[in-house]
C-alpha cells in the first residue's frame, strides 16, 4: 500500500527527514511514535504533498506508483487522507456543505442528498455525535474532542485507502478515545491501511497496531511489535535517543 524509500525532506533549507524507510502493506495499521521535534508531523505533511516540505532524495510509493509528482488534491482523490493535528476552522461553512463537497471531489460526482444524509447520519451515530453538529461551521468553536471526531467522521465518509492520523488521540479523555478508536477500528479492511502518529501508548490499547516504529532525529530507529510501545511506556524515549547518539 505505502512504501517510503530513503526519504529526505527539508523545510526552509533545513533537513528534517534523514533517510526514512517504511513499508505498510494493505490491511495493516502501523504506529509511529517519537518525542517532540523528531519529525513525525513532517513525514505526514510530506506524504500529503505540502508545498513547504521539499523532498530532496528518495521516493514515496502508493499502491506501487510514485506520488512525488502528484499535487495534494490528486493524492487525496486517489485515496490518501491526513488527519491534521490542529484542524483549521472555516467560519461560515457548515459541516453538511463541507462534507458533501469533500465527497463530491473524492468520488468525482455529485452525491445525491438523500444518500449523503443517510451516510452522514450513520457516521455521526457511530461516533456519538449529536444531530446539531451537521449545522455547525467547520471546526468553529469546536472542542479538541469535537475536532478529532470530525476528522474521523470525514474519514468514515471518504473511506480512504491510506489514512495518516497525526496525534489523533491528543487532548481526549478515556471515553472520547474509546469511541474514536472504535470508529477507526470499524474502518479497518483488507484494502485499507493506517499510519497512526502518536506520543502515547493508550490509543494503541484500542487499535492494536500490526507494527510499531520509533522515530528519532528524522528517521526510524527501531521497529517491532506491541512490546516496543510497552517499553516506551515504561522507560520513555531516553534509551532511544541515547542509542541514536551512539549511532546504533
In tens digits, what is the pLDDT along the chain, a chain of 248 residues? 899 999 999 999 999 999 999 999 999 999 999 887 788 889 999 998 998 999 999 999 999 999 999 998 889 889 999 887 778 889 999 999 999 998 888 888 888 999 999 999 999 988 888 888 899 999 998 888 888 888 889 888 889 999 999 888 777 778 888 888 888 888 899 999 999 998 878 888 888 899 999 998 899 999 998 888 888 888 888 777 666 555 54
**Domains present along the chain, CATH in parentheses:** 2-245 (3.40.50.300)
Q: Degrees (nearest 5) of the Cα angle 85, 190, 60?
A: 55
| Cα–Cα distance, 53 to 44 (Å, whole number) | 10
* Total-model pTM: 0.87
Q: What is the pLDDT of residue 245?
A: 53
| Cα–Cα distance, 111 to 100 (Å, whole number) | 7
DSSP state of 14: E
Selection from 220, 170, 206 nearest residue 33 by Cα: 220
Selection from 223, 203, 194 nearest residue 211 by Cα: 223
Q: What is the pLDDT of residue 167?
A: 82
DSSP state of 158: H
Amino acid at each position: 500500500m505505502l512504501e517510503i524509500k530513503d526519504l529526505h525532506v527539508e523545510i526552509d533549507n533545513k533537513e528534517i527527514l534523514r533517510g526514512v524507510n517504511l513499508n505498510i502493506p494493505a490491511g495493516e495499521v502501523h504506529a509511529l511514535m517519537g518525542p517532540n521535534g523528531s519529525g513525525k508531523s513532517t513525514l505526514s505533511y510530506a506524504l500529503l504533498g505540502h508545498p513547504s516540505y521539499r523532498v530532496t532524495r528518495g521516493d514515496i510509493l502508493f499502491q506501487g506508483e510514485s506520488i512525488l509528482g502528484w499535487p495534494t488534491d490528486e493524492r487525496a482523490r486517489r485515496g490518501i487522507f491526513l488527519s491534521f493535528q490542529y484542524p483549521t476552522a472555516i467560519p461560515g461553512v457548515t459541516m453538511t456543505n463541507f462534507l458533501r463537497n469533500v465527497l463530491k471531489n473524492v468520488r468525482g460526482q455529485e452525491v445525491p442528498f438523500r444518500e449523503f444524509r443517510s451516510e452522514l447520519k450513520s457516521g455521526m451515530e457511530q461516533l456519538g455525535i449529536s444531530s446539531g453538529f451537521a449545522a455547525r461551521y467547520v471546526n468553529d468553536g469546536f472542542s479538541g474532542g469535537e475536532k478529532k471526531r470530525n476528522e474521523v467522521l470525514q474519514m468514515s465518509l471518504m473511506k480512504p485507502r491510506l489514512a495518516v492520523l497525526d496525534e489523533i488521540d491528543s487532548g481526549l479523555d478515556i471515553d472520547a478515545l474509546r469511541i474514536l478508536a472504535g470508529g477507526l477500528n470499524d474502518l479497518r479492511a483488507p484494502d485499507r491501511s493506517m499510519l497512526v502518529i502518536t506520543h502515547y501508548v493508550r490509543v494503541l490499547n484500542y487499535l492494536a497496531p500490526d507494527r510499531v516504529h520509533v522515530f528519532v532525529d528524522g528517521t526510524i530507529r527501531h521497529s517491532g511489535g506491541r512490546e516496543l510501545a510497552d517499553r516506551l511506556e515504561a522507560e520513555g524515549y531516553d534509551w532511544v535517543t541515547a542509542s541514536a547518539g551512539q549511532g546504533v
